[in-house]
Amino acid sequence: MLSGRRLDLLNPSPMDVEIEDIAHGLARVARWNGQTQGPNAFSVAQHSLVVEQIVGELKPALPVEARLASLLHDAPEYVIGDMISPFKAVLGSDYKSVEGRLALAIHQRFGLPGEPAPALKKLIKRADLISAWLEATCLAGFSSVEADQFFIRPPQELELDMTPLSPSAAQAAFLARFAEILEDLDAKRGAA
């Protein structure tokens, strides 16, 4: 990793996970394999920000830990990249195992449960599919009708900027949102 950490993919340690490495990697991993409109790819870092924002819109009273889990929902992709779901299925349990161990190390590093509670996991998946609908229709050339077949149409009142950011801007935005959530988390823990 650029931080100087050496991350063992088969046995990742939370001590080798750094948010700067995550942000740097996710900002340079393209959603849709880069097959989107515009001068910049829509990065996994930006997608993560959108998903976290959608989660907050859908459930405004969620605890701050849930917001952090939402932001980090695709964090393992900073190392293993973003693959489309059908290809993940072809790779099978080996891929899921590596992804799961990375997610566990990331969650442990930032004080989250190893896996989100089922209700939160379902909410994050819903937000993920809403983001995918927006990405598909705004950036990847899908019609609304076509996107409706695979993803979840967003609520009408949801307004998000889907303009792809440069890698450096996506990285900075991801780190800024992480810092805000961490500040809220520290305030909550200090008040307890």
Q: What is the pLDDT of residue 4?
A: 81
Write the pLDDT tens digit of every residue in 142-178: 999 999 999 999 998 898 999 999 999 999 999 999 9
More confident residue, 159 or 117: 117
Q: What is the pLDDT of residue 192?
A: 64
Cα distances (angstroms) measured from residue 70 to each of 10, 18, 51, 74, 96:
24, 17, 7, 9, 19
Averaged pLDDT of the chain: 93
| 107 lies in some domain | yes
| 55 lies in some domain | yes
Average pLDDT over residues 100-104: 95
Q: How confident is the model at residue 95 (pLDDT cuts 50, 70, 90)?
A: confident
More confident residue, 192 or 70: 70
Domain extent, residue 96, equals 14-191
| 1 lies in some domain | no
Average pLDDT over residues 95-119: 93
- Domains held by the chain: number: 1
Q: How confident is the model at residue 58 (pLDDT cuts 50, 70, 90)?
A: very high
| 99 lies in some domain | yes
| 4 lies in some domain | no
| 74 lies in some domain | yes
Q: What is the pLDDT of residue 1?
A: 83
What percent of the chain has a predicted confidence (pLDDT) above 70? 98
Q: What count of residues does the chain have?
A: 192
What tokens does 145 get? 């009708």
Average pLDDT over residues 129-149: 97
CATH of the domain at 85: 1.10.3210.10
Q: What is the pLDDT of residue 91?
A: 76
Secondary structure (DSSP) of 13-25: -GGG--HHHHHHH
DSSP annotation of 175: H
What does the alpha-carbon distance between residue 84 and residue 23 come to, in Å, rounded to a whole number? 20
| 27 lies in some domain | yes
- Tell me the helices (H) and strands (E) count for the chain, helix number first: 9, 0
Would the pTM count as exceeding 0.85? yes
Write the pLDDT tens digit of every residue in 73-93: 999 999 988 877 667 777 777
| 7 lies in some domain | no
